[in-house]
């Protein structure tokens, strides 16, 4: 991940943090190792960033992690635990109204990857699998809330074609 700052350009990471133009990124301190950091999402109201990573301290292949932005610096990294993460892969977190929507391939879902919801009111300690039309027999990767009753859903069918759905 990069953080905008005057100075060095470094392209050694997998994700990009939103920043003002012109962009003179520097690598965030916690990304200076050989682990994967991907799918960043930032809530400017709560000043929290969620991402997926295979860093040590996780429970599976990829886990969700979060960190707060405190006085211009990223605080400690938190793993929300087994109520959210699993021995499988959790990825593609999206923050909407403080809640986290993400994709997981944990066994027992409707398809290969399924969308789950982790609520802020539960302090992001547990999650629930979303029902149809959010999840299908295909791989469901991501969602975006446009309004109360309008969403964009991203999935990939067995034939490997991408679809956009709006329930």
Give the tens place of pLDDT for each residue, 118-138: 999 999 999 999 999 999 999
Lowest model confidence (mean pLDDT) among 27-36, 56-65, 98-107: 27-36
Residue with tokens 């992001």: 124
Cα 14 to Cα 17: distance, rounded to the nearest angstrom = 10
pLDDT tens column, 2-56: 444 443 333 333 444 455 566 667 788 888 888 999 999 999 999 999 999 999 9
Cα 60 to Cα 82: distance, rounded to the nearest angstrom = 10
Q: What rounded mean pLDDT belongs to the chain?
A: 83
- Evaluate whether 90 touches 60 at the Cβ level (below 8 Å): yes
Residue with tokens 């990939």: 156
Which is more confident, 164 or 118?
A: 118
Cα 124 to Cα 81: distance, rounded to the nearest angstrom = 9
**What is the Cβ-side half-sphere exposure of residue 87, based on CA atoms within 13 angstroms?**
2
Q: What are the b/e assignments for 101-121, b being 16+ CB within 10 Å? A: bbbbbbeebbbebbbbbbeee
Q: Which two tokens stand for residue 127?
A: 């999650």
């Amino acid at each position: 991940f990069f953080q905008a700052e005057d100075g060095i350009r470094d392209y050694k990471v997998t994700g990009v943090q939103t920043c003002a133009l012109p962009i003179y990124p520097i690598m965030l301190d916690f990304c200076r190792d050989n682990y994967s950091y991907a799918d960043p999402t930032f809530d400017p109201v709560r000043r929290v960033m969620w991402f997926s990573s295979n860093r040590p301290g996780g429970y599976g292949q990829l886990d969700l992690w979060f960190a707060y932005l405190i006085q211009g610096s990223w605080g400690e990294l938190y793993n929300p635990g087994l109520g959210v993460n699993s021995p499988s892969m959790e990825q593609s977190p999206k923050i909407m109204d403080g809640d986290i929507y993400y994709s997981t391939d944990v066994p027992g879902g409707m398809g290969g990857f399924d969308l789950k919801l982790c609520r802020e009111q539960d302090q992001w300690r547990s999650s629930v699998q979303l029902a149809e039309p959010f999840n299908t027999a295909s791989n469901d990767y991501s969602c975006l809330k446009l309004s109360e009753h309008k969403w964009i859903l991203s999935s990939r069918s067995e034939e490997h074609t991408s679809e956009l759905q709006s329930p």
